Amino acid sequence: MSKPSSKSKEFFIDIDDETQNVNQQSGYVWEEEYKRSWDVLQEDEDGSLKRSIDHLQNRLKRKRLLRDTSTIRRGIIRNMFLIIDLSEAMMEKDLRPSRLDLTLSYAEQFILEFFDQNPISQLGIIVSKGGVAERLTGLSGNPMDNIIALKNKKNIDVDGEPSLQNSLELARSSLIHTPTHGSREILLIMGSLTSCDPGDIYESIEDLVKDNVRVSIVGLSAEVQICKYICKRTKGTYGVVLNEAHFKDLLFEIIPPPPVSVAQSNSKLVMMGFPSSVNQSSPYLCACHNKPVTSGYTCARCNSNICDIPTECPICELTLVSSPHLARSYHHLFPVENYTEVPWNSATTTHCFACQISFPSLSERTLPKNLETSSGRYNCQKCNQHFCIDCDVFVHEAIHNCPGCLATSQNNLKSLMGQVNGNFENYENYEKMNLS
C-alpha cells in the first residue's frame, strides 16, 4: 500500500480520536454486563417452547424489514460496478464452504435481485488479483451477461494480492462517461487485509469524490482503516462480515437506490423510448451484438433491432425501457410504511387481511402476563388492517404495495363512481320533469 501524505495523516488522527472518544464514553464490549441468552426462551403453561421460538423467528424476519421509509429523492437509474477480490485470502474457510465460493454464490443472488428491484439500471463486474484489476463485463442491463462471466472458471482463479487503487481507478474511468442523471456507484467485496497499489491512493479517492462516485465496501476479514476512510469520503457504507447471514444482509442493503447527489439533483428531463416487440420466422442481425436472432425489440427512434431491454440503443443512444420497468423502479420513491406490532390487548382480529390465515389465539388460561407483548399481528397505520409476519415480509420485499390500502382506494373509487352515477341519474330525471 502506498505511503500516505501528510494531509492524509491528519484525517487518520481525527478518525482515531473520534473512535477513542466513543470507546471511552460507551465502554468496551467485554466490560458490558454478562447476559444469559438462554433465559429468552420461556415455556408456556403446557411446557412447550414453540411460542418463544416463533417469536424469535418473527423478530429475525422483521429485523431485515425495518428500514427508513421517509419520502426522499432517490436515483432510480443506477450505474454500478461490482468489484470482487480474487486474492489468495479468498481461499480462507472461515466462511463456509470458503470465502470465494460463498462470495460468488451471493454475487449471483445480488445481481438477480439488483436488476429485479432496479430494472432500468446497469451493472458491470471487475476482479482484482495479482496486483492488477481486470474488467470482466462492462455496464450492462442484462443480468445473465454478468452471471455467465462469474460462472466461467477461468475468471475466478485466485492469485497474489488485490489492488485497491487499480480497481477503483478502472471503475471510475468507466463511470465518468455515464450521464449525470444516473448514480455512479462501486460495490467492493474485499477479503484481503493488504493491497498492492502503484501510487498514492488518496489522490484516487479525491478523484472519486470529484466525480461523484459512491463507494461501498463489504469486508470479509477485519475492519481496514483505508476502506473506512474511502466509504466516509464518498458517502458510501462500510461493513465487516460476522457470519454467512450477515454477509448476505450487507450485500442486499445496497439494492435500494441511495439518495440523489448534487449532480443528479441538477439534472433535467431524461428522454426515453418504448420499443416494440418483434418476432420473425427468419433470423436478422441485432445492432447490439451483431448476431442473428429471431426475436427482440425495435428502437422507437431509428428502428434498429435490439436483443433485450432495458438498454441504450447503440445507434442513436436512446434509452430503451418498458412501462413495467418504470413501474418496478417507481416504488422506491414511495415505499410502504413499516407495519407496527399489535399487542395482545389490541388483538381484535382473527384472520390476516391478505392471506386469510387465522391468527394465533390465546385463551384466558394461556394469556400472557404482559399484555403489551406482540400478538403475531402487524398493523398498517394508513388502512388499519392487520397482517401476519409472512404477508408483512411479502408486502415490503416483493409487491411493495399494501393490500389494505389498495382495497380501500378501490372501495373509495367505487363509492365515488356510484355517487357520480346517482347524481347523473337525478340530473336526467330533473331534465325530463322540466321538459314535461
Same domain, 289 and 397: no
pLDDT in the model for residue 14: 42
Tell me, yes or no, whether 380 lies in a domain: yes
Tens-digit pLDDT profile for residues 185-207:
999 999 999 999 999 999 999 99
388: exposed, middle or buried (Cβ count in 10 Å: 0-12, 13-18, 19+): buried
Instruction: Check which CATH number belongs to the domain holding 140 and give it.
Output: 3.40.50.410
Residue 180 contacts residue 264 (beta carbons within 8 Å): yes
Classify residue 412: in a domain, yes or no: no
The answer to whether 376 touches 359, Cβ cutoff 8 Å, is yes
Q: What is the pTM of this model?
A: 0.73
DSSP string, 341-359: EEEGGG----B-TTT-PBP
Instruction: For residue 34, tell me if it sits in a domain.
Output: no
314 shares its domain with 354: no
Last residue of a domain, one of 260, 292, 308: 260
Please indicate, yes or no, if residue 335 is contained in any of the structural domains.
no
pLDDT the model gives residue 397: 77
pLDDT at 370: 55
Can you list the residues of the chain whose pLDDT is less than 70?
A: 1-72, 261-268, 362-373, 410-436
Are 103 and 201 part of one and the same domain?
yes
Decide: helix, strand or coil at residue 89. helix
C-alpha cell at 221: 476479514
The strand order across the sheet containing 340-343 reads 340-343, 374-379, 386-387
The answer to the question of residue 18 being in a domain is no
74 and 222 share one domain: yes
- Quick one: pLDDT at residue 11? 39
Query: Is residue 27 one of the residues assigned to a domain?
Result: no
The CATH number of the domain holding residue 351 is 3.30.40.10
Kindly state whether residues 182 and 278 are assigned to the same domain: no
Q: How far apart are CA 84 and CA 64, in angstroms?
A: 25
Distance from the first to the final alpha carbon of the chain: 96
Q: What's the total number of domains in the chain?
A: 3
**Residue 20 and residue 305: Cα distance in Å, rounded?**
60
pLDDT reported for residue 338: 85
Q: Do residues 290 and 214 share a domain?
A: no
Looking at the structure, do residues 155 and 284 belong to the same domain, yes or no? no
- 434 within domain boundaries: no
- State pLDDT tens for residues 403-418: 998 888 766 666 655 6
**C-beta of residue 225 within 8 angstroms of C-beta of residue 13:** no
Question: 59-63 long-range contacts, Cβ below 8 Å, gap at least 24?
Answer: 61/389, 61/392, 61/393, 62/378, 62/389, 62/392
Q: Quick one: 242 and 114 in the same domain?
A: yes
- Residue at 117 is within a domain: yes
Model pLDDT, residue 105: 95
Which helix (DSSP H) or strand (DSSP E) does residue 384 occupy? Answer: none
Model pLDDT, residue 203: 95
Strands 213-219 and 238-240: parallel
Please check whether residues 104 and 188 belong to one and the same domain: yes
Q: Same domain, yes or no, for 397 and 315?
A: no
> Cα-atom radius of gyration of the chain, to the nearest Å?
27
Q: Which of 88, 60, 89 is nearest to 219 (CA)?
A: 89
How high is the pLDDT of residue 420? 52
Q: Tell me if 127 sits within 8 A of 137, measured CB to CB.
A: no
Backbone angles phi, psi at 109, to 5 degrees: -65, -40
Same domain for 201 and 293, yes or no, is no
My answer on whether 314 and 379 are in the same domain is no
What residues make up the domain containing 365?
Answer: 340-404
According to the model, what pLDDT value does residue 364 have?
Answer: 44
